[in-house]
Structures are given as C-alpha cells and as structure tokens.
Structure 1
Amino acid sequence: MKPIIALDADGVLLDYHQAYAKAWAKAFGALPAVRDPLAYWPIDRWDVRRLAGAELALFRACFDHQYWSTIPAMPGAQDACCALAAAGYELVCVSAIEAQFEAARLDNLRRCGFPIERVIATANAGGDVSPKAAALRELRPVVFVDDFLPYLRGIPVNIHAALVLREPNGSPNAGDDLAWAHSQHADLASFTTWWLNR
C-alpha cells in the first residue's frame, strides 16, 4: 500500500475566494471588487455587505452542486499533487463539506486534473477536537495539509500536521496554537518542495 497524504480542499487545493466571488455575482449580478487582497476570509477580501433574511437565503442557494463542482484550482496545486503522486503517495482529500456535496467535490478535483480519487466529507463544526480527527485516525496518513489551524487540533500526533498559512489579515493561523503545526508553508507547492527534499 502506498503511504497516504491527506489534503484539505478549500485554500489548499481549490481557490474558495474566487468561487465565493462568482457565487456573489450569480446571486446579485456583478462580481465584487477586492477590498483587501491579504484577507483570510472571503467576506473580508471582497467588497461585499453582510447579508440577512431573503438576501442571505438567495446567496446560500448559490452554494449548490454546480458551485461545489466548479471551484478553480489554487495556483501550483495541481502540479504539486502530481509531484506527490509521482513520488509514490496516494492523495486523499479530507474536506469539511456537507456529505451531499462529496461527489461534487470529487468531480471538481478530477476536472482540475488532480490525481485524487477519494474525498472524505467531515463535519465543519468547531470544538475541542478537529472535526477531521476521526477521519484521519481511520485513514492514517503520513501527512495532513490544511490551511485552518483549528482543524489540526487533536489529530493523531503521529500524523505530520502541515499548515498552509496563506493570507494573513484576520487569519486564525496565529498565536500559541501554532504549536499544533509540525511545519508551516506558504502554499501546497512550497509544502511539496519541502516534503520531497527534506
């Protein structure tokens, strides 16, 4: 059996920021302007308003099967995954996404050319332990790569926890809890280079 590398999707493999802007345009008719290109959260990155009531329901309805199957790849992520696969690793996506969209997420990854044939959907609720911990205990990867520090909390200590830092403004990837990450990287491409040459 090949050693497994588990990868988060949004912010690691796929560009959730760009997809969020397209969902906004679908709901409200125009792509939003960039407010802060260094913002971690899309609501801070884009010049958008806080929504409530009917507007919020309209926007949420745009996060459908089509949305989850058409998110663009992060720059360099597909090449990074191909390099990991060529080095003998099996890649599995472990994503905090509703189970009903698991197939859409796999279809999305295939369309983007990722050498990934398996997606595991987990809960996304916060808590004392990562909602991805149970899946990772069962999967037993050698590495787990995520861009959201709280999702490293409580995962098995024998799994190398690699944190993608990405945009710093408003990021949860800061403070004493960075001790949960065994390594920190700008993106998946930089992780891959480091991992294959360590």
Structure 2
Amino acid sequence: MSAKPIIALDADGVLLDYGLAYASVWERAFGRRPLERDKDAYSPLDRWAVEFLEGERLAALRACMNEQFWSSLPPLKLAVEACHRLHDAGYELVCVSALAHQFEGARLRNLRDTGFPIERVIATGRSAEQRSPKADAIEQLAPLAFVDDFLPYFRGIAPSVHRALICRGLNGTPNVGPELDEIHSSHGDLWKFSEWMLDPSRTLRSGAA
C-alpha cells in the first residue's frame, strides 16, 4: 500500500478530452471532420454532427480506436496543472479507467506523454452489471477520494471513500436522479476539485452522504 494518501482519478472526461478526440477518430475513419453542434453536450454523439452507426461503419470506427488512438488523447484544460498541484501536495494519483485491459499501457503512455504526474493506470474494462466496473479496483486501492464524471460508476464504491463528481457537459448528462444524494462533493472540472481539495477549510466527507 502506498505511504501517501491516494486519489483515484477517472480518465475520459476528468483527465483527458475524449469528446474532442472523438472528432479526430471520426475523421480518420471516414475522411471528414464532423461539425460541432453542441459544445455543452455530455456525449460526443451529441456534441458532434454525426449519425448513429451500426454494421460496417461502426466496425470501421472501432478499428480506428486502436493503440495509437488511446495513446494520444489530448488533456482537458488545466487537468495536468491540477494533477501537479495535488501531487506536489503529497497525494499519489492513480488513474482508474473503464477501458479494455489491452489498452492499459497505451493509456499510461498517453498520460505520461502529456505531462501528468501519474505512474499507474488500472484498466477495469466495462461491465453489464449494476455495480461499477471500477468498484473492485477502488476497494483494493483504498483511496482517500475517487473522482469520476459518470454517476453510475460510483455504484458499489465503499462508503469510506470520498466520492467527487465532475459535472461537465450538462446537456444530456447522465448525472441526474436520487444517486446524486450519495455524492460527497461536485466540481466543474478537475482544477476546481484540486482547489477544493487543497483548501484547508474544506471537509472531506465519507460514510453516509
């Protein structure tokens, strides 16, 4: 176990701009970059003027989401700076991502290449179960806090872990409903979380929200 207190961080939507990268991978797959229709959309399917895919076109897009793609997502604004603030304050940062296990190394290279002070990535894959696919990894890490931008990924997280929700892309957000009552703190982005986390007057909550 780490001698430093751990903060577990999601990648897409917290550290990295998957929504922006989606336009680039669409361009690689189909030869044209889609127009942006709603910069405040949660999902890239709503942010960009793209159609719903199935069959061969869906397979073509997924084929472009390869090792190179997962190694090259751009960081979100001020996310690198936020991580350095937390790291310099004495926290160990671990990325816990619902990404296929085969791309764990690509994700770590992506974070290192873009300047994040993160030396460990745990790729959990996705699950059709109600419980978060990240719950087991969070249980093993026993972090002080877990930061994610997708409300369902807090299901099954131990009550002892502070649950911090990044509230981005308010149009079409899945972050609604009674489960919000189980969130301990909400923040507009990772920079704002870091400001809150390093504020000596803040109260880090755990247990019942």
1:169 is displaced (CA, Å) by 1.0
Distance between the aligned counterparts of 1:196 and 1:17, measured in 2?
28
1:184 is displaced (CA, Å) by 0.4
**Residue 124 of structure 1 aligns with which residue?**
126
Identity of aligned residues (%): 57
Distance between the aligned counterparts of 2:151 and 2:51, measured in 1?
26
1:129 is displaced (CA, Å) by 1.4
Distance between the aligned counterparts of 1:126 and 1:39, measured in 2?
24
Point out the more displaced range, 18-27 or 119-128: 119-128
In the alignment, is the contact (CA less than 8 A) between 1:147 and 1:166 conserved in 2?
yes
1:125 is displaced (CA, Å) by 1.9
**Residue 160 of structure 2 aligns with which residue?**
158
Correspondence for 1:8 among 7, 10, 17: 10
Aligned CA-pair RMSD: 0.7
Correspondence for 2:170 among 151, 155, 168: 168
Runs in 1 of length 4+ with deviation above 4 angstroms? none
1:37 is displaced (CA, Å) by 1.2
Q: Can you give the 5+ residue segments of structure 1 that lack an aligned partner in the other structure?
A: none
AA at the equivalent of 1:100: Q
What is the correspondence of 1:72-83 to structure 2 with a 5 Å cutoff? 72-83=74-85
How high is the TM-score relative to the length of structure 1?
0.98
**Residue 44 of structure 1 aligns with which residue?**
46
Alignment partner of 1:116: what SS?
Answer: coil
Distance between the aligned counterparts of 2:177 and 2:104, measured in 1?
32
**Residue 137 of structure 1 aligns with which residue?**
139
**Residue 60 of structure 2 aligns with which residue?**
58
AA at the equivalent of 1:13: L
Distance between the aligned counterparts of 1:156 and 1:170, measured in 2?
28
2:24 aligned with 1:22: yes
Correspondence for 1:181 among 180, 183, 191: 183
Q: Can you give the 5+ residue segments of structure 2 that lack an aligned partner in the other structure?
A: 203-209
Can you list the C-alpha shifts for 1:14-53, whole angstroms capped at 9, x where unaligned?
A: 0001111000000111111011111101011100011121
2:113 aligned with 1:111: yes
Distance between the aligned counterparts of 2:168 and 2:128, measured in 1?
21
1:154 is displaced (CA, Å) by 1.3
Distance between the aligned counterparts of 1:127 and 1:107, measured in 2?
29
In the alignment, is the contact (CA less than 8 A) between 1:5 and 1:142 conserved in 2?
yes
How high is the TM-score relative to the length of structure 2?
0.93
In the alignment, is the contact (CA less than 8 A) between 1:15 and 1:73 conserved in 2?
yes
1:5 is displaced (CA, Å) by 0.4
Aligned pair count reads 198
1:185 is displaced (CA, Å) by 0.4
Can you list the C-alpha shifts for 1:133-164, whole angstroms capped at 9, x where unaligned?
A: 00000000000000000001110000000000
1:123 is displaced (CA, Å) by 2.4
